[in-house]
């Protein structure tokens, strides 16, 4: 009887604890750097902040704009897009709240890939040879659009000189194999997956043309900020805790630091490859340990989208960013100081 009573009390306590958690739904795009969210999830960091987090996969951050605007999705992690700025211009309440991934000199996450047979035959010798070719990016008006625009400019081209198509990163590999695609700008791990097959090769890196680029960010639904600000700040505290460990797992952008193995183990379970060596083979972009955004890059992306005719209203970066939640989170966790 005593055992039954104890079990009932334990069950009651567990139910009460679960009931106190705030349910939060988050969208991710399957980039290798998304491991920071899975690590924080599996290590209980979000639950320690009172969050019951559900992580949902999308094929691009642009696809998360509608559910963020409706409040069906509270948080999203992914690239900047024209669709996001257009949503803000229309009065849809979505905010950029923190950094996720940046390009810095020598470290990036996106590459221009060209089909190997074009390289072998001499059909492709320089960027100018992309004229008339079919080139894929994960979504129109995405972060890859700004990278591609800058890459094309190196060959005196614009996006009007190529046939642009949208493909999810896994589909790019298949399209290269079927010779249905000439070039693409995927992000890691898609870059490594496509080149491993031997059907495509890297010809240019994102940092070659855009050495300081705010590639991906954390988006919050405005409704989430208004109704659950405490949860929003708590999420950032858990995120910063994990992203600092992530930085300590990297050396020169690769998983070779002292804390690398736990991250690699998570990726081999949740990522597209089950080979640990795969995740040690490529570099990742920079994730700011204090979540700080590179605002000049956001302004440059907006200008590129506008020049491409993709912006449908008046909007500024200031309207799109809310850094106050990050400021509150940093008051608790402090600024990052690397271990000596």
The per-residue pLDDT for 340 is 61
pLDDT at 17: 52
Whole-number pLDDT of residue 285: 86
Sign of the Cα torsion 8, 9, 14, 20 reads positive
Give the tens place of pLDDT for each residue, 186-242: 888 888 888 988 999 999 999 999 999 999 999 999 999 999 999 999 999 999 999
Angstrom distance (rounded) from CA 297 to CA 46: 30
Q: Is the dihedral of CA 123, 128, 133, 138 positive or negative?
A: positive
Query: Dihedral of CA 140/143/146/148: which sign?
Result: negative
CA 296 to the chain's CA centroid: 18
Residue ranges of the chain with per-residue pLDDT less than 50: 1-16
Q: How many CA atoms lie within 13 A of 307 on its CB side?
A: 13
Quote the CA–CA distance of 22 and 20 in Å, as a whole number: 7
Residue 309, number of CB atoms within 10 A of its CB: 10
- Residue-level pLDDT at 169: 80
Element (H, E) at 264: helix 260-270
137-176 tens-digit pLDDT: 887 788 888 999 999 999 999 999 999 998 888 889 999 9
Residue 19: per-residue pLDDT:
56
Helices 260-270 and 35-42 meet at what angle, rounded to 10? 100
Query: C-alpha 63: how far from its chain's center?
Result: 13
Report the alpha-carbon distance of residue 303 to residue 298 in Å, rounded.
Answer: 9
CB 187 within 8 A of CB 103: no
The pLDDT score that the predictor gives to residue 14 is: 39
Cβ count near 125 (within 10 Å): 10
Q: What's the Cα-to-Cα distance from 61 to each of 68, 142, 201, 218, 256, rounded to whole Å?
A: 10, 8, 25, 10, 28
- Cα distance between residue 208 and residue 112, in whole Å: 11
Residues listed for the chain? 340
- Spell out the residues 6+ positions from residue 136 whose beta carbon is closer than 8 angstroms to its own: 164, 165, 166, 167, 172, 175, 181, 183, 184, 185, 186
For the beta carbon of residue 307, count every other beta carbon within 10 angstroms: 12
What are the structural domains, with CATH classification, of the chain? 24-104+213-333 (3.40.190.10), 111-209 (3.40.190.10)
* Residue 108 structure tokens: 């990036």
What pLDDT score does 283 carry? Answer: 86
Q: What is the pLDDT of residue 114?
A: 98
């Amino acid at each position: 009887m005593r055992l039954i009573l104890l079990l009932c009390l334990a069950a009651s306590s567990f139910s009460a604890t679960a009931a106190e958690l705030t349910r939060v739904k988050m969208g991710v795009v399957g980039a290798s750097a998304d491991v920071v969210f899975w690590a924080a999830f599996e290590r209980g960091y979000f639950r320690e902040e009172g969050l019951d987090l559900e992580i949902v996969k999308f094929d691009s951050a642009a696809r998360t704009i509608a559910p963020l605007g409706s409040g069906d999705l509270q948080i999203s992690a992914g690239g900047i897009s024209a669709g996001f700025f257009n949503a803000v211009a229309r009065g849809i309440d979505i905010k950029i709240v923190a950094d996720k991934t940046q390009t810095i000199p020598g470290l990036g996450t996106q590459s221009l890939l060209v089909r190997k047979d074009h390289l072998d035959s001499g059909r492709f010798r320089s960027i100018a040879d992309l004229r008339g070719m079919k080139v894929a990016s994960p979504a129109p008006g995405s972060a890859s659009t700004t990278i591609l625009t800058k890459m094309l400019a190196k060959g005196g081209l614009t996006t009007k000189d190529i046939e642009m198509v949208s493909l999810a990163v896994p589909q790019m590999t298949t399209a290269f194999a079927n010779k249905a695609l000439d070039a693409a700008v995927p992000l890691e791990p898609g870059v490594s997956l496509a080149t491993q097959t031997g059907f495509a090769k890297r010809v240019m890196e994102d940092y070659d043309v855009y050495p300081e680029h705010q590639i991906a960010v954390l988006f919050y639904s405005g409704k989430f900020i208004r109704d659950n600000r405490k949860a929003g700040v708590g999420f950032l505290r858990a995120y910063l805790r994990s992203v600092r460990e992530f930085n300590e797992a990297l050396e020169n952008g690769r998983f070779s630091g002292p804390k690398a193995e736990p991250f690699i183990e998570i990726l081999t379970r949740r990522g597209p490859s089950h080979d640990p060596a795969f995740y040690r083979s490529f570099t990742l972009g920079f994730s700011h340990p204090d979540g700080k955004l590179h605002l000049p890059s956001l302004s440059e992306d907006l200008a590129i989208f506008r020049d491409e005719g993709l912006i449908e209203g008046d909007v500024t970066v200031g309207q799109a960013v809310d850094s106050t939640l990050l400021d509150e989170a940093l008051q608790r966790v402090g600024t990052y100081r690397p271990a000596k």
